[in-house]
């Protein structure tokens, strides 16, 4: 009797193990361009379980339509495209690396990477494009890339949990553009690296870069492995851009500027601290911008007179 009970327990455990076994799904298409149509995947009949993995391939452009999805893992390959539509949420649940080999991800709704690492890992010469118009929340701790170009356009809210961005491989650039209305929110710190021939940069094109809740012992911005050639580091390109940082970081930020790791194409940078809000703010200096405008106006007058 005891032996039968033990056997029953073992069978039950085996059944649970089989139930927990993740399934790998590959996009085939043919039914629609909706991620949620089971007939588009092989094997068919997916229930979109939270431990299953999905690989998008075949140069396909699909959307989440109006659905919300929680999956175990996701891979983007073969110049394919996934659009997370407004009102939809796409969540990565398992402790997997989300791999972007090649293609584009457009986030009009919400993308939640579940705190897992995201890795651009394409073959030589491939490109990964990410556009965030909605919300990118709880991301993994890295955008370290290998032989792949990475372009990230931030028009909505992008929570960057921290750690690295960039590539050791020559010619492969990693660029984040924070555009008007966009927020690039750094939860821990940024570690940037680049070689002599590639670009690793955050361009502030009218948006906001926020260093938030820095943990003790973190530098906030580590550029010790960044080769600064004028197109690397954090760069202001629009006068309505700004950087905000918790606590008094004036001395630290001025060090970034002196080292060339924080720069501006729209005038000198003004670094100030407000004790009431306990925030340090970096903006292009209005007087400098005015002088630049006056100089450009004078140049136009001279050109007109020369004509």
The whole-number pLDDT of residue 276 equals 96
The closest of 134, 169, 132 to 149, measured between CA atoms, is: 169
Residue 70 lies inside a defined structural domain of this protein: no
Side-chain-facing half-sphere of 132: CA atoms under 13 Å: 28
Domain that holds residue 262: 97-306
How far apart, in whole angstroms, are the C-alpha atoms of residue 163 and residue 188?
A: 7
The whole-number pLDDT of residue 189 equals 79
**Number of domains composing the chain:** 1
The whole-number pLDDT of residue 143 equals 67
Residue 256 lies inside a defined structural domain of this protein: yes
The closest of 113, 157, 115, 151 to 134, measured between CA atoms, is: 157
The whole-number pLDDT of residue 7 equals 43
How far apart, in whole angstroms, are the C-alpha atoms of residue 171 and residue 148?
A: 9
Residue 33 lies inside a defined structural domain of this protein: no
Residue 127 lies inside a defined structural domain of this protein: yes
Do 167 and 192 touch, CB atoms closer than 8 A?
Answer: no
Do 166 and 145 touch, CB atoms closer than 8 A?
Answer: yes
Q: In the block, which residue shows the tokens 């073959």?
A: 123
**If DSSP codes are grouped into helix, strand and coil, which group holds residue 2?**
helix
Q: Per-residue b/e over 189-222, b at no fewer than 16 CB within 10 Å?
A: bbbbbbbeebbbbbbbbbbbbbbeebeeeeebbb
Residue 59 lies inside a defined structural domain of this protein: no
The whole-number pLDDT of residue 212 equals 76
What are the average pLDDT values for consecutive 10-residue runs of the chain, which has 307 residues?
45 40 87 90 80 87 90 89 95 77 94 77 80 86 71 93 68 89 88 82 96 64 86 95 93 95 96 95 74 45 37
Residue 89 lies inside a defined structural domain of this protein: no
The whole-number pLDDT of residue 162 equals 66
Residue 224 lies inside a defined structural domain of this protein: yes
Count of CB atoms situated within 10 Å of the CB of 242: 17
The whole-number pLDDT of residue 142 equals 64
DSSP 38: G
The closest of 223, 185, 209, 191 to 269, measured between CA atoms, is: 209
Residue 72 lies inside a defined structural domain of this protein: no
Do 264 and 242 touch, CB atoms closer than 8 A?
Answer: no
């Amino acid at each position: 009797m005891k032996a039968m009970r033990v056997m029953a327990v073992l069978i039950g455990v085996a059944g649970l193990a089989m139930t927990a076994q993740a399934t790998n799904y590959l996009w085939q298409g043919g039914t629609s361009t909706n991620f949620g149509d089971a007939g588009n995947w092989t094997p068919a009949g997916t229930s979109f379980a939270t431990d299953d993995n999905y690989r998008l391939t075949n140069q396909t452009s699909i959307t989440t339509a109006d659905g919300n999805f929680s999956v175990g893992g996701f891979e983007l390959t073969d110049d394919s495209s996934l659009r997370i539509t407004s009102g939809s949420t796409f969540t990565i649940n398992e402790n997997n690396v989300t791999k972007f080999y090649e293609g584009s991800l457009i986030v009009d709704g919400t993308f939640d990477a579940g705190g897992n690492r995201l890795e651009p890992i394409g073959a030589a010469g491939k490109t990964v494009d990410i556009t965030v118009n909605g919300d990118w929340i709880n991301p993994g701790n890295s955008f370290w890339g290998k032989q792949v170009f990475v372009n990230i356009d931030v028009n909505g809210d992008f929570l960057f949990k921290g750690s690295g961005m960039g590539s050791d491989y020559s010619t492969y650039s990693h660029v984040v553009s924070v555009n008007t209305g966009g927020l690039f929110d750094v939860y821990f710190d940024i570690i940037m690296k680049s070689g002599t021939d590639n670009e690793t940069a955050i361009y502030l094109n009218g948006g906001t870069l926020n260093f938030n809740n820095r943990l003790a012992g973190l530098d906030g911005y580590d550029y010790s492995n960044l080769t600064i050639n004028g197109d690397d580091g954090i760069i202001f390109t629009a006068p309505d851009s700004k950087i905000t940082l918790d606590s008094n970081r004036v001395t630290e930020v001025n060090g970034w500027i002196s080292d060339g790791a924080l720069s501006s194409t729209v005038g000198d940078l003004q670094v100030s601290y407000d004790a009431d809000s306990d925030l340090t703010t970096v903006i292009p200096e209005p007087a400098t911008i005015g002088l630049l405008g006056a100089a450009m106006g004078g140049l136009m007058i001279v050109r007109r007179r020369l004509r």
